[in-house]
Amino acid sequence: MHSGRRRRRALTEKRESPWSHRSFPEAAKELLADSQIRRNVRHATNVIQAKRNRVVAELEDWEQLREAGAAIRAHALEYLDNYLVQFEENCTRAGGHVHWARDAAEANGIILDLLRRHAAKEVIKIKTMTSEEIGLNRNLEAHGIHPHETDLAELIIQLGHDKPSHFVVPALHKNRQQVREIFQREMNLPDLGEKPEDLASAARAYLREKYLRIKVAISGANFLVAENGAVCIVESEGNGRMCLTLPDVLISLVGIEKVIPRHRDLEVFLQTLPRSATGERMNPYNSIWSGVHAGDGPKEFHVVLLDNGRSPILADSEARQTLQCIRCGACLNACPVYHQTGGHAYESVYPGPIGAILTPQLHQMQEGRTLPYASSLCGACYEVCPVKINIPEVLIHLRSKVVQKDQKTIAGRLGLWNMGMQAAAFLLADADRFSMAQHLGQIGQKVVVSQNGFIERLPLMLSGWTQTRDLRPLPAQSFRDWWAEREKAKKNYASHETIKRNDTKELGDAGKH
Amino acid sequence: MPESIDARTAILSSIRTALGASSRPDTATIDASYSALSRRYKREGALQSEALLGLFTHRLIEYDAGVTRIARGQIAVEVARILTERKRMRIGIPGGLPSAWLPAGFDFQNAEHYSEHQLDELDGVLTGCTVACAETGSIVLQTGAAQGQRILTLVPDYHLCVVLAEQVVETVPECFARLGSTATLPTTIFSGPSATADIEMTRIKGVHGPRFLDVLLAM
Amino acid sequence: MLVSLFITCYNDTLFPETGKAVVRVLERLGHTIEFRREQTCCGQMHWNTGYLREAIPIIRHFVNVYRDAETVVAPSSSCVSMMRDHYRKAAELAQDTKLAAEVEMLLPRVYEFTEFLVKKLGVEDVGATFAHKVTYHTSCHSQRSLHLGDIPIRLLKRVRSLELLPLENPQECCGFGGTFSIKNADVSSAMLADKVRTVLNTGAEVCTAVDNSCLMHIYGSLHRQRTFVRTAHIAEVLACTAGGDGGVH
């Protein structure tokens, strides 16, 4: 294909993206006002966190598992070209077909071609964030093919015309009453109860007919194994197993970073992933297969390897660790920012701390520029990450990229933040300048100090602080001035003592005479 | 598909450029790097057989599975007892299931080549397994003798699984070590009945897979 | 022992009482304090906001000031974690091998205040008396970067007459995060509201921590809400003695 055409298609794709492009603070403000979402998110993350902490504490070798997981993932990325080629060879040998897609448009094109070849009008899908990333459902619908989400949470999202807010539990922002309303309306079940059991049964009945009828399925994958071409999918409900075994044709759309070297490496990730993701010791179902197997499962199997902005991330040795992610979502559940806003504020398929570093990089820092700042750098994400991605470190690294990019423009250089930081850097690099600034501040602050002696309103970019917080004014004397005074007093005292002592001595000496 | 070959070259070259190496390392270098990876986690369990089976039982019960410990010679008797209790008569079985496990008086059907619709008609399924992991309460099924193809244990609503004591290992790495030679067979590692926690994080049993699981642990 | 006090730029400017309290505690334990007046800042604000290049002269300045210090003590876990977590990378970024070597030499001699008391001096009872209900806020850097664990709690438990009340969700951030509190003021305020609720729920009169940055943030809301709960750096609590002045403002 001509690259011009490809680029145009990519642009169209971008415009069609379901995610608008507000800044994180803007989007967060709106979500903070939704107390229902906040309560739902808070409840769900508290429950998962507690379960996760309990099952992680059971394993005495948790830190060693994290270390091994990080090492294996980093190694796989370092030799990614080699392992992808190995996977392709082995998957093909086992009867699978491997396709490569540079971007969302290419991946959509490949999948559409395959579906057309099988004259598919409907497909069943296992939850895959990668398909959200390329806007697959919208694209299929635009071409007259109806995708049915089979994961309970994704079904709730699809029927509710909503967006996922978490990549393990995409509908955690909905409570049972809201789910019931959606199912009542969309499944035409006016008498449906609101117990989770009722809702799950409704989904079982709704989907069972589709599993038995629809002959093409689309999935993502948790891991690709290079040495034997195996694919591994971890799930809970059995909807995954249905999609992986009942249809005649299976298409797995997978990011290129998902490959691991050997089968035995799964012994690490199948311990760390479920414990981190859902707080289970092992997921109810893990499926592992390679290619096609006579008499068992699909007759045709395709893997679409998707780049879509991943490969350039490898060039940044500092940020490359972002691609180690195994999508457990533990960092979302641990994040105090995510607790407040939920996933939608990130305006990306990948929310939370990992999304804050992954999203802007997938877009070469052209989009999601406020995301690296959507963190208090508290470090809770790094602490729980099962593959030890140092998210705070990468956040700072990406902030520096944003800053440097801004500084290349005149507007950026003259912006308040840049000017303020440059001035502060100048003052803080020398004690005399710093001390002078302290004195100026002590005098200058008088204009902002209220009658009660506190600062209740600050101007410009600092106004965000005083929105909900008062500020104690600078005390009249800095520590360094206090210390100088004390030293001086000590010296005076000491020299006074010396004089006294000398006097006494002289007196004494004199007395001898 | 020329487009696809083109994308392949482009992606691989983009990766190589990003990794910053003009010539990529050879297999020996990569293997050496792989062998040097940190693997200080626990590989072998330390539990003696009684404690090991106790742990496995405990984990399964936590998943809401029924577990009965039985003598090796009693499998058929116990299968009869439990199927009667569960009121399940039409039971699918995979090829290669020991006939000694099958009591009289039930409708056991070789479901090896059953369609999903035929499977949907069954009351349940009886299988063996490849290996089981005590620490996580997981059972591994691989396409083959006494386990059948994957949909056999997926579509029916009830699964009765016979696990032999010597098939139980303690840790996940021990489990994978046993799977080494059959790694490319379609494999399902399952832990309890189908479940979801998608609604308010409440774990509920049974969405699409079998909603009921009984395990006979044969000594 | 000769202890070189790194007061940190914001304590110097905004919380001089904390510095005085550190001096009082360490002198009471028989140590000599020096204050190098050339000191300014650790560079954290610039670094964490993404102004890495701008932070380097500040970092270099810090290393120059303390290069020959025997022991450096700072009443701020976030500043000490700035040094431990990022100074090596800063030296690398500056492509300055001399700075890198000096950082390696200096870092093992830099301590956070409570860490210094317990780990280096082996002291838990500093002879303090503080007749108030106190709750302890665990700052993020103290737990996740410095791994102080229960060190501050152990110190507080040995303070006479002090009633320590546990805080709910101690592991959760107060929402300060430096420039985060300004750039994402709404989210930061929401996080703070949760934290302040847990502080008020304890019924404590004083909320303490090893970082004044968190305390400034928490107090900002406590004061706005017109509560009577005060905040005080742990050094100020430990400085109080029976009959002595409170040291808590």
Q: Where are the domains of chain A?
A: 24-149+215-315, 416-466
| CA distances to A114, A248, B4, C77, C218 from A107, in Å | 11, 21, 10, 48, 49
Among all residues of chain C, which has the CA nearest to that of A397? C50
Torsion over CA: C209, C214, C215, C221 (sign): negative
CA A183 – CA A177 distance, rounded (Å): 10
Closest residue of C to A42, CA-based? C194
What pLDDT does A21 receive?
Answer: 73
**pLDDT level of residue A6 (50, 70, 90 thresholds):** very low
How many C-beta atoms lie closer than 10 Å to residue B63's C-beta? 23
Smallest Cβ distance to A68: which of B41, B190, B209? B41
Question: Which pair of structure tokens corresponds to residue A129?
Answer: 């964030």
pLDDT (mean) for A89-107: 97
C44 contacts A425 by C-beta, under 8 angstroms:
no
CB B130 within 8 A of CB B83: no
CA distance A143 to chain B (A): 21
Contact criterion met (CB < 8 Å) for C37 and A483: yes
Q: Which residues of A are less than 8 Å from B138 in CB distance? A: 282
The string over A22-46, giving b where at least 16 C-beta atoms fall within 10 Å of a residue's C-beta and e elsewhere, is ebbbebbbebbeeeebbebbeebbe
Angle, CA B23 vertex, CA B22 and CA B29 arms, to 5°: 135
- For range A434-448, the mean pLDDT: 93
Q: pLDDT-derived band of residue A77, with 50, 70 and 90 as boundaries? A: very high
pLDDT band at A510 (very low <50, low <70, confident <90, very high): very low
pLDDT value, residue B196:
82
What confidence tier does A306 reach under pLDDT thresholds 50, 70, 90? very high
Neighbouring chains of A at 3+ CB pairs under 8 Å are B, C
Comparison of pLDDT for C245 and A301, the residue scoring more = A301
Measured over the CA atoms of residue A346, residue A351, residue A356 and residue A358, the dihedral's sign is negative
What part of C 60-99 touches A (C-beta under 8 Å)?
Answer: 61, 85-86
C142 in contact with chain A, both atoms CB, cutoff 8 A: no
Cα dist from A232 to A270, A290, B13, whole Å? 10, 9, 26
Distances (CA, A) of A267 to A225, A271, B180: 12, 7, 11
pLDDT number for residue A17: 47
Long-range contacts of A437-444 (CB under 8 A, 24+ apart): A438/A474, A438/A478, A438/A480, A438/A481, A438/C12, A438/C13, A441/A474, A441/C13, A442/A474, A442/A475, A442/A476, A442/A478
Phi then psi for A232, rounded to 5 degrees?
-125, 130
Tokens of A387: 């593959």
- The pLDDT score that the predictor gives to residue C89 is 97
Q: Determine what percent of chain B is predicted with pLDDT higher than 70.
A: 96
By the CB < 8 Å criterion, does B71 face chain A? no
- Give the mean pLDDT of chain A: 92
Element spanning A301, H or E: strand A300-306
The pLDDT of residue C243 is 72
CB contact under 8 A, A242 and B143: no
Q: Which residues of C touch A341 (CB under 8 A)?
A: 187
The CATH homologous superfamily for domain B49-218 is: NagB/RpiA/CoA transferase-like (3.40.50.10420)
Q: Cβ–Cβ of C187/A425 closer than 8 Å?
A: no
Mutate which: C17, C34, C39, C40, vs A, most A CBs within 10 A = C40
Q: What is the pLDDT of residue B22?
A: 63
Nearest chain C Cα distance for residue A4, angstroms: 36
Number of Cβ atoms within 10 Å of the Cβ of A124: 23
Where does the pLDDT of residue C215 fall: very low under 50, low under 70, confident under 90, or very high at 90 and above? very high
Helix (H) or strand (E) holding B70: strand B66-70
Query: B115 at the A interface (CB within 8 A)?
Result: no
Predicted confidence (pLDDT) per residue in C5-18, tens digit = 999 999 999 999 99
A300's enclosing H/E stretch is strand A300-306
What are the tens digits of pLDDT across the range A385-431? 999 999 999 999 999 999 999 999 999 999 999 999 999 999 999 99
List, edge to edge, every strand of the sheet that includes C133-136. C163-165, C133-136, C206-209, C230-233
What residue ranges in chain C does DSSP mark as E strands? 2-5, 32-34, 72-74, 110-112, 133-136, 163-165, 206-209, 230-233
pLDDT at B20: 86
Look at the block and give the residue holding tokens 């700052």: C139
What's the pLDDT score for residue A14? 42
Written as one string, the DSSP assignment of C30-97 is: T-EEE--TT----SHHHHHHT-HHHHHHHHHHHHHHHTT-S-EEES-HHHHHHHHHHHHHHHHHTT-H
Query: Which amino acid, one-letter code, is at B116?
Result: E
Burial of C97 (0-12, 13-18, 19+ CB in 10 A): exposed
Average of per-residue pLDDT across A346-358: 96
pLDDT of residue A502: 63
Domain boundaries, chain B: 3-35, 49-218
How far apart, in whole angstroms, are the C-alpha atoms of residue C232 and residue C247?
9
Please give the pLDDT value at position A116.
97
Task: Mark yes or no for CB contact A377/C219 under 8 Å.
Answer: no
Q: How far apart are CA A44 and CA A38, in angstroms?
A: 10
Whether the predicted pLDDT of B123 surpasses 80:
yes
* Lowest-pLDDT choice from A223-237, A290-304, A492-506: A492-506
Residue A11 pLDDT exceeds 80: no
Q: Do B200 and A278 touch (CB under 8 A)?
A: no
Task: Identify the pLDDT of residue A10.
Answer: 42
Query: Would you state the pLDDT for residue B25?
Result: 87
CA atoms within 13 A on the CB side of A513: 5
Segment B23-30 mean pLDDT = 87
Give the residue from A318, A227, A83, A228 showing the smallest Cα distance to B30. A83
CATH 3.30.420.40 fits A24-149+215-315, yes or no: no
| Length of chain A as a residue count | 513
Would an 8 Å CB–CB cutoff place A113 in contact with chain C?
no
- Chain C: touching chains (3 or more CB pairs < 8 Å): A
Q: Mutual orientation of helices C97-106 and C77-93 as an angle, nearest 10°?
A: 150
Is the confidence at residue A511, as pLDDT, over 70? no
Question: Could you report how far apart the first and last alpha carbons of chain B are, in Å?
Answer: 56
**Interface residue C46 vs chain A (CB under 8 A):** yes
Q: What secondary structure does DSSP assign to A214-260, as a single string?
A: --EEEE--SEEETTTTEEEEEESSSHHHHHHHSSSEEEEEEEGGGEE
* Helix or strand (DSSP H, E) at B5: helix B2-19
CB atoms within 10 A of CB A375: 30
Q: What is the pLDDT of residue A39?
A: 92
CB A280 within 8 A of CB A56: no
Residue A8 pLDDT level (bands cut at 50, 70, 90): very low
- Give pLDDT, residue A427: 96
Give the residue-averaged pLDDT of B154-177.
96
Does residue A15 have a pLDDT over 50?
A: no
Which C residues 2-41 touch A at CB under 8 Å? 7, 9, 11-17, 19-20, 35, 37-41
Put simply, the chain A residues between 321 and 360 with a CB less than 8 A from any chain C CB are 336-337, 339-341
- Looking at residue A3, its pLDDT comes to 44
pLDDT digits (tens, 9 = 90+) for C104-135: 999 999 999 999 999 999 999 999 999 999 99
- Mean pLDDT confidence for C70-99: 98
**Cα–Cα distances in Å, from B176 out to A306, B161, C130?**
29, 20, 58
- How would you label A305-340 residue by residue, b for 16+ Cβ within 10 Å and e otherwise? bbbbbbbebbebeebbbbbbbbbbbbbbbbbbbbbb
The pLDDT of residue A18 is above 50:
no
Q: d(Cα C201, Cα C229) in Å, to the nearest integer?
A: 11
For tokens 């290669």, the residue is B96
C173 touches chain A (CB under 8 A): yes
By C-alpha distance, the chain C residue nearest A339 is C191
Q: What is the pLDDT of residues A128-187, one digit of tens each?
A: 999 999 999 999 999 999 999 999 999 999 999 999 999 899 998 999 999 999 999 999
Here the ipTM equals: 0.96
Beta-carbon contacts of residue C89 (< 8 Å; ≥ 6 apart):
none
C67 by Cβ neighbours in 10 Å (0-12 / 13-18 / 19+) ranks as exposed
